[in-house]
Amino acid sequence: MRAALGAHRGRLARGSLTESALLVGTAGVAGIGAAALGGGVLRRWAPVNIPRLSEVGLNPVVVGVALAACLVTAVLLGLIPLLRPRRDPGASLRDGGWGTVSGGRLRGRNVLVATQVALALVLLIGSGLLFRTFRQRRSVDPGFTTRRALTFEIGLPPSRYATRVDARRFHDALLSRLRALPGVTSAAAVGQCLPLSDGMCWGETLQAEGHPTPKGQVPPVTGARVASADYFRAMGIAVRGRAFTSSAETGPAVAILSEAAAAAYFPGEDAVGRRVRFGEDDSWRTVVGVARNVRGRLSTDDFERLIYLPMRAAETAGPPPSQMAYVLRTDVAPTSLAPAVRRVLADLDPSIPMADVRTVADPVARATAPTSFALVLIGLAAFISLLLGAVGVYAVVAYAVSRRTAEIGVRMAFGAGITDVRRMVLRQGGRVVLVGVGLGLVAPAC
């Protein structure tokens, strides 16, 4: 109409650019605001072990790039309609008067919408695969019981506890008081590392009686844990044979091997009753039990080779008992006992603080937190992409229907029913969706 009345291309371009600039500018400002709000929410709920999380957010560079992208989009959307081959204004008016729309006008829109649907499907497939990985990691058995257990660590200063004997006596006194707390069903200590611990743990070579290391080979390093009586019960680790008892602490030299260590040093044999020696200076120790494997990392299927030594052994061998981790199995909320534990510790030695107070289940949640966070991000991106694809399909179908109003009226005048019209409209949108779904299913395989 404007071209028929004499408007030149520059005037048409200004009008088209103004319209696209208003639409894109409004969407850009809304998008930047949503990004600022969403970034704050994600930083608040993201796990703490995401690197450089504090740097995530809007800054002048990001805002500048977003505005530049909006400007380029507005120019392209405003100029593309004017780049079509020039048509006779009279022919355009005649086509528009009939209220029809040609396939060529919708072809470009259909391609864009099909691409949106394909990308959305790719993101949905990716988020589904990531969810399966997350579920598998969450369902991995760590080898111990995570419910209703509190853990914390303490370190004894060498100036006040100069010998291993002094440190061991302090831990014995603290354990006896912790076991007497209401709500505590069992209490134990282990040095230096709990399962799924991020710290450095003690290790040494292990010799098995009757299975000498071949000459020229370096014996593998086996992790060592000094454990108090009741440790396996407090952690919920099953032991074949027997666990440490109070009599075992003062009786003959004993040890407990993990299943991985027993299979490595006594292949095809029962390790219970056999003897091992930890390091060069330790005496031979009788294996009184084989403990269930525990995982050092959830991300690997390899189990640690461990030897457990009784607390009394820490006076002469193995890791020093100056730094110990405590486990309290409870029949109440584990974190509710933290104040009582602090009071007990302060009564014994007010200069020793509690460190890393948490539940035993926290390491499992912490190990899966990055995967969970990535799952949320990919799922959110897939949802937004799917929403955009749905809006695109609706826009194309709505535009086609609005341009074919007269045609639909003619069809109904010749006997077409509402069901026939709906089937025609759904067929047009369904073809676009099917093409997008097909591309989205093929893309991950490529």
349 — phi, psi (to 5°)? -155, 100
Distance CA 373, CA 46 (A): 6
User: If we measure between CA atoms, which residue out of 97, 114, 115, 95 comes closest to residue 105?
Assistant: 95
Structure-block tokens of residue 39? 């970034």
Q: How many CB atoms lie within 10 A of CB 333?
A: 12
Quote the DSSP letter at residue 307. Answer: E
Successive 10-residue mean pLDDT values, the chain, 446 residues: 63 77 88 84 70 75 88 81 58 51 61 80 78 69 83 89 89 92 92 72 83 77 86 91 74 85 90 85 84 74 80 76 90 91 92 89 75 75 77 77 80 84 81 83 74
- The per-residue pLDDT for 201 is 75
Express the helix, strand and coil content of the chain in percent, nearest 5 each.
55, 15, 30
Distance CA 314, CA 38 (A): 52
Chain-centroid distance, C-alpha 434: 33
Q: Per DSSP, which regions of 118-230 are E strands? A: 149-155, 184-191, 203-208, 221-227
192 upstream amide cis, omega within 30 of 0: yes
155 — phi, psi (to 5°)? -125, 130
- The per-residue pLDDT for 6 is 61
Distance CA 39, CA 57 (A): 6
Q: Where are the domains of the chain?
A: 1-96, 99-141+366-446, 149-360
What is each CA distance from 420 to 131, 425, 427, in whole angstroms? 42, 9, 10
Q: What's this model's pTM, rounded to 2 decimal places?
A: 0.63
What secondary structure does DSSP assign to 261-306, as a single string?
HHHHHSTTS--TT-EEEETTTSPPEEEEEEEPP--S-TT--PPPPE
- The per-residue pLDDT for 98 is 46
